[in-house]
Amino acid sequence: MNMIETIDGVLNRAVAGKGGRPGAPGVVAVAATRDKLIYQGASGVRCLSSGIPMTPDTVLALMSCTKGITGTAMMQLVEAGDVNLDDPAKTYVPEIGEIRVLDGFDADGEPRVRRPNVDITIRHLMLHTAGFGYDFFNYDLVKFGQAMNIPSVVTATMASLRSVLLFDPGTRWEYGTNIDWVGKVLEAVLRKRLGDILRERVLDPLGMTETGYKLTPSMLARRATIHQREDGAMTPMPEFVLPQEPEQHMGGHFLYGPATDYIKFIQMILNDGSGPRGRLLTKATVDFMTTNGLANLKVTRLPGAIPSLSLDAEFFPGMPKSWGFTWMINDLDAPTGRPAGAVAWAGLANTYYWIDRKNGVGGFWGSQILPFVDEASTNGYLEFETAVYSRLNRQA
């Protein structure tokens, strides 16, 4: 069986489910080396209600797969000397200097807050060490949000960002709204909205013409519906669409696009910052972005604090993981075949990618399911990656 047949089988099994438990409504996968696509395929449907087949160019809510693209735009400014990673973020976005640290709750459940010991820097934001979190991964933020009436980040409002720090900047790693603030810094420096910045500096140079925060008629016609899994059953949520005219362009989660576009971003990193229409980053910058920036800190498990949005999440449990600018780095060789030092991340609606510069290969897996780390999609993604490496190893 060749690689295409093997991976087709992986996608079909992810959709079929097992043990009477429904699989993913639809999945798409794309893999590439530095210079060519080696697989693209899809299985299932875009929406259980419509029955329209999933295709490789199906448009997905990329959610946190947006972060690497926003981080790339920020590193372009760092490379040009327009900003320094150790600049206080409040130099550009004064509002961030007003955020306080959560210091527990009183007997009535009211939050206690204090000033942070140090200023938040752009480096802290890029590395997720500023103190910001996501409520769906942190029980204290759920409690704080309820007490202070903080809206969800998917509302794309400034009020959703004016939350609280969980610790003093630089002392821990906590995955959160940091890259939304990076987007605010980009807007302040370049005096444009983030959607325009990403379009001009990353998406258009890579030919990612079908990716953006606003759904064009063509994108809308190919959009997959997000489904909610509850007690095993899948329910389509066609009304779940990220705000199309948002108050804030959110650098951490606001892009829509197909896997066939996202693989172009992956290939740019594989090619040391070079894209089809020129260089976006120097090799030295890409080397830096894909190197651990946490020193002795480590990436930690993400508790599923809001079960409808995420289950407990950890890639390769028991293995040490670090963080770069801005994605996870596996410190040891992974069981899929991914070598130590590769980078990867994911999006809340069960989108996943990895980038292996050592072997010059990467891939993207997409579905549209809540909660995060849905078994059918996550296991399918890991099978997909394993199948790619199995074929590469046989060719070596």
User: Is 377 labeled as catalytic in the residue annotation?
Assistant: no
Please state which CATH class domain 3-66+192-395 belongs to.
Answer: alpha beta
Phi, psi angles (nearest 5°) of residue 39: -160, 140
* Residue 107 neighbours by CB under 8 Å, 6+ apart: none
**Exactly one of 43, 134, 160, 175 is catalytic; which is it?**
175
Q: Could you tell me the residue ranges of all domains in the chain?
A: 3-66+192-395, 78-188
User: Is 50 labeled as catalytic in the residue annotation?
Assistant: no
**Exactly one of 64, 160, 274, 377 is catalytic; which is it?**
64
**Exactly one of 39, 43, 67, 310 is catalytic; which is it?**
67
Reported pTM: 0.97
Nearest Cα neighbor of 202 from 351, 369, 67 is 67
| Residue indicated by tokens 């199995």 | 390
Q: What pLDDT score does 3 carry?
A: 86
> Which tokens belong to 55?
């295709």
| Residue indicated by tokens 């500023």 | 130
User: pLDDT tens digit string along 191-233?
Assistant: 999 999 999 999 999 999 999 999 999 999 999 999 999 988 9
Cα–Cα distance list, 88 to 169, 182, 222, 279, 324 (Å): 11, 12, 41, 28, 19
Cα–Cα distance between 376 and 27 in angstroms, integer?
A: 10
| pLDDT mean values, one per 10 residues, the chain (396 residues) | 91 92 96 97 97 98 98 98 98 98 95 98 98 97 96 95 97 98 98 98 98 96 97 94 95 97 98 96 98 96 97 96 97 98 98 98 98 97 97 74
User: Is 67 labeled as catalytic in the residue annotation?
Assistant: yes
| Residue indicated by tokens 């770069």 | 324
Q: What pLDDT score does 168 carry?
A: 98
Nearest Cα neighbor of 92 from 103, 104, 77, 107 is 77
How distant is the alpha carbon of residue 304 from its chain centre? 16
Q: Which amino acid is at 76?
A: Q
Cα–Cα distance between 76 and 55 in angstroms, integer?
A: 33
> Which tokens belong to 244?
């199309």
* Residue 80 neighbours by CB under 8 Å, 6+ apart: none
Q: Which amino acid is at 359?
A: N
Burial annotation 18-36 (CB, 10 A radius, 16+ → b, else e): eeeebbbbbbbbbbbbbee
Q: Which amino acid is at 38?
A: I
Exposed (0-12), middle (13-18) or buried (19+): which is 272, by Cβ within 10 Å? middle
Q: What pLDDT score does 396 carry?
A: 58
Q: Could you tell me the sign of the dihedral formed by the alpha carbons of 168, 171, 173, 179, in that order?
A: positive
